[in-house]
């Protein structure tokens, strides 16, 4: 794959995407999960409910077919799992396409946290295991919302691990969601790898680090060398670019749906510029820019209709004392914590924009 073939605009981008699915294997679980998704979408389309596909968590890039080593993308799944809850609250049905074992809607309140879930439990006088009284009220609220989502079959959980699985699922779900027209929403919060090992350049077995056990580093004649191989004591990794699928999603896979992408940056000078660039390049509806360090209390909305707008929730400063070996305070570390979940402001804004798009689509019918 050349650099040009990764260009998403025009023929080269289309070619790269088509080529990708012809040369990289379909996940074994895709057909089964696709049938489940179809039934889910049909149910909600029949009830006239909007459906949001929320992607969440990081994609992996395996270096071996029988995978021992892989490269990962940063994302705990907080943005996606939290947003999914607010979409459900706003009346959406949600397909939650997430990295396996990353945070999930509702259970996120009690997993991956600094407390083990057992720290929320205690024994009552009769010896039964119950929730500690200080957590009762909050857990009852979460439980009620979780049960409602289950009762209404409003939340479908679909896991992925690799970038290949993610891309196959994204395309399949986009096709399944087409009948929804403007009632479909794509909220792409997953952190998707920009580089990968194509199937034809993947080695089968664990790469041997010991020089005494080095494997062949060239494939057959005319074939490209494996993407990851040992060179002396060094592991050499030469990854191909992942075609940018946003263009295909917007133009071909889901042309009537609302599409929201995220842009993650670490350099504040680049955030607005890169978000504007993505909007212009892919011509979708909204880019939500966020900085790694401040993503929990501020995001930048960039859209053709609304221009640029910061959403900021109040953040409180917390001072935590770090103690030395002898128990003395050696440092006061300051951290900022959002006073409320920023997704509780992001999602209603997105839903409002989605309503406007649906109204516009109705006028054009
Ligand atoms: O889960 P948390 O810890 O809360 O973190 C949330 C988050 C910071 C990961 C999230 O808010 C976020 O910013 N997600 C997007 C990160 C990202 O992948 O950015 P990107 O610049 O690589 O991609 C931008 C967009 O292009 C993405 O919406 C992606 O869907 C799309 N893309 C990416 C790669 C690719 N080959 N094709 C694509 O279409």
For atom 5 of ligand 1, which residue has the closest CA?
75
Test site for ligand 1: of 20, 263, 275, 342, most ligand atoms within 8 A of the Cβ: 263
pTM: 0.91
Task: Please identify every stretch of the chain with a pLDDT value under 70, giving residue numbers as ranges.
Answer: 1-15, 213-222, 320-334
**Atom nearest to 243 CA in ligand 1:** 36
Distance 13 CA to ligand 1 centre (A): 19
Test site for ligand 1: of 189, 249, 291, most ligand atoms within 8 A of the Cβ: 189
Is 361 in a helix, a strand, or coil?
helix
Distance 47 CA to ligand 1 centre (A): 31
pLDDT score recorded for residue 232? 86
**Atom nearest to 190 CA in ligand 1:** 14
Q: Which residues line ligand 1 (CB under 6 A)?
A: 75-79, 188-189, 191-192, 194, 242, 244-246, 261-264, 290, 295
For atom 20 of ligand 1, which residue has the closest CA?
263
Whole-Å CA distances, 328 to 112, 258, 319, 322: 30, 55, 16, 8
pLDDT score recorded for residue 6? 36
Please give the Cα distance from 288 to 272 (Å, whole number).
10
Test site for ligand 1: of 16, 261, 293, most ligand atoms within 8 A of the Cβ: 261
**Atom nearest to 57 CA in ligand 1:** 1
CB-based burial label for 94 (10 Å; 0-12, 13-18, 19+): buried
pLDDT score recorded for residue 217? 64
Write down the ipTM of this complex. Answer: 0.95
Q: Is 190 in contact with 75 (CB distance < 8 Å)?
A: yes
**Atom nearest to 295 CA in ligand 1:** 8
Both tokens of 95, joined, read: 């397909």
Closest CA to 351 of 99, 54, 147, 16: 54
Please give the Cα distance from 163 to 169 (Å, whole number).
10
Both tokens of 65, joined, read: 């077919």
**Atom nearest to 290 CA in ligand 1:** 13
For atom 17 of ligand 1, which residue has the closest CA?
191
Whole-Å CA distances, 182 to 15, 43, 256, 347, 354: 27, 17, 5, 17, 8
Q: Give the CATH number of domain 4-197+239-313; options: 3.40.50.10300, 3.40.718.10, 1.10.260.40, 3.40.50.2300.
A: 3.40.50.10300
pLDDT score recorded for residue 209? 80
Distance 96 CA to ligand 1 centre (A): 15
Residue 129: strand pairing partners:
123
pLDDT score recorded for residue 1? 33
Write the DSSP string, 19-58.
HHHHHSPPPTTHHHHHHHHHHHHHHHHHTT--EEEEEESB
Test site for ligand 1: of 71, 83, 187, 188, most ligand atoms within 8 A of the Cβ: 188
Q: Where are the beta strands (DSSP E) in the chain?
A: 51-56, 60-62, 70-72, 93-99, 121-123, 129-131, 155-160, 184-188, 195-196, 228-231, 234-237, 240-241, 258-265, 286-291, 298-303, 307-312, 315-323, 329-338
Domain boundaries, the chain: 4-197+239-313
């Amino acid at each position: 794959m050349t650099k040009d073939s990764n260009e998403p605009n025009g023929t080269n981008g289309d070619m790269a995407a088509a080529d990708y699915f012809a040369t990289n294997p379909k996940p074994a679980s895709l057909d089964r999960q696709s049938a489940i998704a179809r039934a889910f979408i049909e149910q909600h389309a029949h009830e006239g409910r909007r459906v949001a596909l929320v992607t969440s968590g990081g994609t992996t890039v395996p270096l071996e077919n029988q995978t021992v080593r892989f490269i990962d993308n940063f994302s705990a799944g907080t943005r996606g799992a939290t947003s999914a809850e607010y979409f459900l609250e706003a009346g959406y049905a949600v397909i939650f396409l997430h990295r396996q074992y990353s945070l999930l809607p509702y259970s996120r309140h009690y997993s991956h946290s600094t407390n083990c879930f057992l720290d929320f439990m205690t024994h009552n006088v009769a010896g039964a295991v119950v929730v500690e009284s200080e957590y009762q009220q909050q857990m009852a609220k979460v439980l009620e919302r979780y049960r409602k989502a289950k009762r209404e079959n409003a939340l479908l959980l679909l896991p992925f691990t690799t970038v290949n699985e993610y891309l196959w699922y994204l395309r399949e779900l986009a096709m399944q969601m087409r009948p929804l027209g403007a009632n479909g929403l794509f909220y792409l919060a997953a952190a998707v790898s920009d580089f990968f090992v194509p199937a034809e350049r993947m080695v089968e077995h664990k790469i041997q680090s010991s020089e005494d056990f080095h494997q062949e580093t060239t494939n057959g004649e005319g074939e490209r060398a494996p993407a990851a191989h040992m060179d002396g004591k060094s592991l050499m990794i030469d990854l191909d670019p992942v075609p940018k699928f946003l263009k295909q999603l917007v133009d071909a896979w889901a042309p009537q749906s609302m599409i929201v992408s995220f842009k993650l940056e670490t350099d504040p000078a680049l955030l607005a510029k890169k978000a504007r660039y993505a909007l212009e390049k892919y011509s979708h509806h909204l880019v939500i820019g966020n900085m790694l360090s401040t993503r929990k209390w501020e995001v930048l909305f960039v859209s053709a209709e609304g221009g640029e707008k910061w959403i900021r929730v109040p953040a409180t400063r917390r001072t935590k004392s770090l103690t030395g070996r002898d128990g003395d305070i050696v440092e006061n570390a300051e951290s900022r914590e959002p006073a409320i979940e920023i997704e509780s402001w992001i999602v209603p804004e997105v839903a409002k924009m989605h309503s406007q798009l649906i109204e516009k689509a109705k006028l054009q019918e």
